[in-house]
Structure formats: structure tokens, C-alpha cells
Amino acid sequence: MNQTHDPGRSSWVRSAQDHADFPIQNLPFGVFRRRGAESFRAVGVAIGDEILDIGAARAAGGLSGRAAVAAQACSTPTLNALMALGPQHWSALRSEVSALLASDSPAYRADRDIGQRILVPMSEADLFLPSQVGDYSDFYASVYHATNVGSMFRPENPLLPNYKWVPIGYHGRASSIVVSGTPVRRPCGQIKETDAASPVFRPTRSLDYEMELGCFVGTGNPLGEPVTIDQAEKHLFGLCLVNDWSARDIQSWEYQPLGPFLSKSFATTVSPWVVTMEALEPYRVPAFSRPPGDPAPLPYLDSPETRSRGGLDLTVEVYLATARMRTESIPPLRLSRGTAADLYWTLGQMFTHHASNGCNLRPGDLFATGTISGPAKHSRGCLLELTWRGSEPLALPTGETRKFLEDGDEVILRASCERQGAARIGFGECRGMVLPA
């Protein structure tokens, strides 16, 4: 915790005052390009309804020391070089950006027109993937999600014996990660109905979303060198929203014995702004409280720090807007509201386990939590759970119903952090509209 977290700090950027997502206490990083101009992609920081161009701020002389080194790393059109520098440089840049944008900024007092040179209206910018993602892995970290899904297929034994011992994950497809706003085409695949003698190849009829958080790797680890649980979070740069689209009917036929493949590799949508781990410090909570009888994590996944503050008090939400809802000007309907505090495994445990066999994670790599679900029905993070595999369709305000997603449906993910004595910060949105096969 430092001065950047002060809830009383304000900014000379007017739209940042009481902004739902991007007050001065947040300052997430992203990649943008001014729309309609002969300009290159650049690294920026979200502040209210504006984007601080890091390169322009550096040129204006507003950054020095480690912050200037970090700003130089932002001269490339991705965050990878910045992510590779490590926590001291990330923190220095965040601190000086906060000071530059603060109401009492000497630079602003000396030049009230500085905003015209270093800020770009968000409404005039296109946003891109934050990093060049070399590798993507997805975990299965919600015990409520795992139990619900297991109950549909194995009611007598929902959780497999390994679940409470090892963070389960699979290797995803990095090439099909897309930024928020990119349309998602309904995939085709092999599907076998329960009573059919053989499978057929056709478009999925069980297209689903998954409400997740994604974590960008900062400094990586050399091949063959694990990372201890005490060091894990020093390697984590920040979080984004993730919608890991899933074709459930393709998945149920293909997933045994090796797990998801084509049912998930057609698209994964991420939000464009990366909320840094430092910005999330005020919202730390203890790791998930394991019920009596559950095994304690093995020593390589356990530490006092992880137990006392490994979790995050972070609310995640999913909204749906059908084509008919948009035509009738009906606002998106909230389908689900959950919390990252319900994750059985912490981000540090996920990273440590990922690297425990010597797997080398690199700057800009992404891993996701898996679907975030809670104990209540309203906190279930996908349609597979909300409609209980289609047996309990959702009723929409237009009179429509949904078992799974239809063409023209738009899924919107949002997230925020709020705690007593801290400013509210958010993640922006993670949107995707379904196109026909």
C-alpha cells in the first residue's frame, strides 16, 4: 500500500472523479491507437474517460528514474517489454503516473494545457490485446463450478479425487485470444447425441460463456527452474476479464481422455485493460476457507502469506443482450454475480503449480482462473450451470428464453472492487457477440 491507493487522491482529469472503473487509484495499462489517424499502436493508462499516452508523457518530461526506464519499455506496441522489467519498475511507473495525473501535480500547475498533449479521449481510440500472448493456460479453480458440473455427469461423485489436492488446468490456444468487441463465430464440430449411434459434424447448439479472470505473467522463470509460493506473486503483472467461450456439446464428446480441445479453441475474449496487482492491494482477503475434512495444500502450495491474503475481494458479473433486446432498447440483463474470493485456489498457487515442474512462463503469457461460481444460483458463472444443462431455461424480459447462446446474443463481463476505506475500481468491459456458423 502506498500513496497511489489513497482514496482521497483526486485527479485534474475531470472524468476521473468518482469514475466507476478508472479513477486515479486504478491506472490500468492497455494498448491503443487513435482512431482515424496515421498513428501507431501505443501503450496507455486508463484515467476516467481518457487514455494517458505513456510515450507522450515521457516526451513531456513527466517521468524519471525507473519510471523513465519503464516508459521506454512502453515504446513497443505491446506490454510485454514492460511486463518483463519486474515489480520495482512497474511500481515506479505507476507512482509517477499517479503523481502526474493528481490534482496537485506540479506539471499540471505549470501547464494547464498538458492534457492536450498527453491524453487521448477513449471515445477516439481503438483498443487491442494488451500483450503478445505466447502461451495460454486455463485453470478450474472454483470448487463450486467443479461440483456443479460434476453433479450433472457424476451425481454420486461430483469431484474427482485429485481436485482438492492439485490445481487442475489445461493448455489453451493463444492464437484465438481476441480483444473485447471482436465478434465470435459459432463453431462447428463433432457432436454425438446421447441416443445416436454415431456422431455428426454440425454447428454447436450448446454455445456457452465462462466468467473468468485472466492473469498476465510479468517476469518469467527460466526453463527447469520452479518458483516458490513466496515468490510467485512477484511474477504476476495484473488481471483482466476473460470469457472462455465453450461449445458444450462438442466438449462432452471430445473431452475424454485428454480434456478440452476444439470445444474451446475457437475463441477466448479478454478485456483490453490490465489492472495491476499493485492496484488490487487494498482488496486482499484471506484465501478460501476450506471446510473441515478438506486436505491442506501440499507444502509447495502453502505459506502464511497465501493463507492470510491470497484471495481477492473482487466482484464479477455477466450480462446478456439479445438481438431483440437491442431492437426494443431493453438494457442488458444481469445473469450472474460472483466473487473471486470463492476460488478454491489462489492466483499465487496457480502460478506456482504451473511452474512447479520447471515449465517456463514468459512475460505476456496468460493464465485464467476457470469459471468463477459461488454457492448460490445467482453466482453461477456459465449457462451450463445457470440452466442446469438446459433443463431450466432462463426467462428474458422480451419473453424469450435461453438454454444456451443464440446467434446475435452479446455477452458482457464486468468486474469491480469495493471495500471500506478504499476507492472503487473496475475493469471496464469484456464483450463478444455471437455470429452464425
| Contact indicator for 87, 51 with CB cutoff of 8 Å | no
- Distance between CA atoms of 270 and 212, rounded to whole angstroms? 9
For the residues of 96-140, what is the DSSP string, one character each?
Answer: HHHHHHBTT-HHHHH-TTHHHHHEEEGGGEEEE-SS--S-EEEE-
**Three cell numbers at 123?**
471515445
Question: How far is residue 211 CA from its own chain's centroid?
Answer: 9
- Distance between CA atoms of 357 and 346, rounded to whole angstroms? 18
For residue 393, say if its preceding peptide bond is cis, omega within 30 degrees of 0.
no
428, amino acid identity: G
**Three cell numbers at 72?**
521506454
Choosing from 5, 89, 145, 354, the catalytic residue is: 145
Sign of CA dihedral 378, 380, 385, 386: positive
| Burial class of residue 422 in the structure, from the number of CB atoms within 10 Å of its CB (0-12 exposed, 13-18 middle, 19+ buried) | middle
Q: Write down the residue that cell numbers 466438449 correspond to.
A: 251
Q: Write down the residue that cell numbers 456457452 correspond to.
A: 208
Q: Write down the residue that cell numbers 453433479 correspond to.
A: 151
Does 378 qualify as catalytic in the annotation?
no
* Residues marked as catalytic: 145
